Structure 1
Amino acid sequence: MDSIQYLPLDQIAAADLLPILNKSSTRKHLIEHDVFDLQRVRDWVVDKVEEDACDGCLVRATLLDETPVGWCGIQQSELGYEIAIVLDDGSWGIGKAIFKQLIFWCEAFQHETVYIHLLHTRPAYNFLHRLAERTFETQMLGDTFTTYELNVGKMTKQF
């Protein structure tokens, strides 16, 4: 059976994150940015570790059977706290399990509402639309996102 682990990003080698962050299937659904080299990955990790240190935030590498497959987190966004999940396409099937874990962490932080911002290149997710209090379009970071507003208390009762 597959085992999902969550570790602080600075406990993962930059070389293990590099191919995930640069993979075209990953990049096509993220805001446009330069291709990573090892130094850019290290700098990105420093930024995410700083985000992790903020009240109400948590950023983790995601491992599947001890192999890094992406990252996830609760971060600050323009609307409040957001949930982010970025996975190698070979591991997309574990996304719902990671999502549930993030919602439980949100509850532990006593967040009432969290957001998921999906770049306009992503398809609509009926699963998220059914769970959302509302779904709307937002403009952030120079791009268009579909935003799902989630009530954490209602979500945890469903799980």
Structure 2
Amino acid sequence: MIELVRLTEVPLEEVLALLNEPRNAPHMPLASSFTAETAAAWVAAKDGQWVSNGHGPWAVLVDGEFAGWCGFQREPAGEDFALVLAPPWWGHGSAVLQQALGRGFGELGLGEVLIALPLSRRAERVLSRFGFLPDGEVSYGGAEFRQYRLTRERWSSSERGQGARVLDGGRA
């Protein structure tokens, strides 16, 4: 079972281990090494987005275990979805994305969602199953990313969006 909870509900040591996971580094061009202090500041900043934006990152729990983090972050072009899972949980990405999009378009009321992937990631097939369309390239912190866009209407008409409404009691 996948649960999305606030990052502050997860022990900092577990978040720190994820942030410093070397197998994730090739796909996270903006990441750096974290200490306990910088990880605590990172969690506080991510959690603070809930106050300033009405949404933000969640911790991802799979069967009660911390598996990673995901969520919507405000960027100049719109609401950007990020997902980082620890290697043992990499196979859960589609299920996490489906649940998060259902909540984003449902309870959070988002009109569209962006995903920016580093050039090292090739996820067009997976993202197209959710209804995402290519939306050019963007630069963050000097790194280049491929951007994809999904509207609420496109999500609602996609097979994944239909499935999310069933899972979420019709709220998506």
CA distance in 2, matches of 1:98, 1:156: 17
Equivalent residue runs for 1:1-150 within 5 Å: 3-108=1-106, 109-129=108-128, 131-150=131-150
Q: Measure how far apart 1:56 and its partner are.
A: 4.2
Partner deviation per Cα, 1:115-145 (whole Å, 9 max, x = no partner): 0001112124312146223331111221100
Question: Which runs of 5 or more residues in structure 2 are unaligned?
Answer: 162-172
The 8 Å contact of residues 104 and 156 in structure 1, kept in 2 or not, is answered as no
AA aligned to 2:157 is K
CA distance in 1, matches of 2:135, 2:87: 25
Q: CA RMSD in A?
A: 1.6
CA distance in 1, matches of 2:153, 2:86: 29
CA distance in 2, matches of 1:32, 1:82: 15
Q: Normalising to structure 1: TM-score of the pair?
A: 0.90
Q: Measure how far apart 1:45 and its partner are.
A: 0.3
Specify whether residues 153 and 142 from structure 1 end up closer, same or farther in structure 2 by C-alpha distance, changes over 3 A only. same
Equivalenced residue count is 157
SS at match of 2:148: strand
CA distance in 2, matches of 1:22, 1:134: 30
Q: Measure how far apart 1:153 and its partner are.
A: 2.3
The 8 Å contact of residues 52 and 75 in structure 1, kept in 2 or not, is answered as no
Q: Does 1:155 align with 2:155?
A: yes
Q: Normalising to structure 2: TM-score of the pair?
A: 0.84
The 8 Å contact of residues 6 and 61 in structure 1, kept in 2 or not, is answered as yes
Q: Measure how far apart 1:156 and its partner are.
A: 2.8
AA aligned to 1:83 is F
Which residue in 1 is equivalent to 2:167?
none
The 8 Å contact of residues 69 and 85 in structure 2, kept in 1 or not, is answered as yes
SS at match of 1:36: coil
AA aligned to 1:11 is E
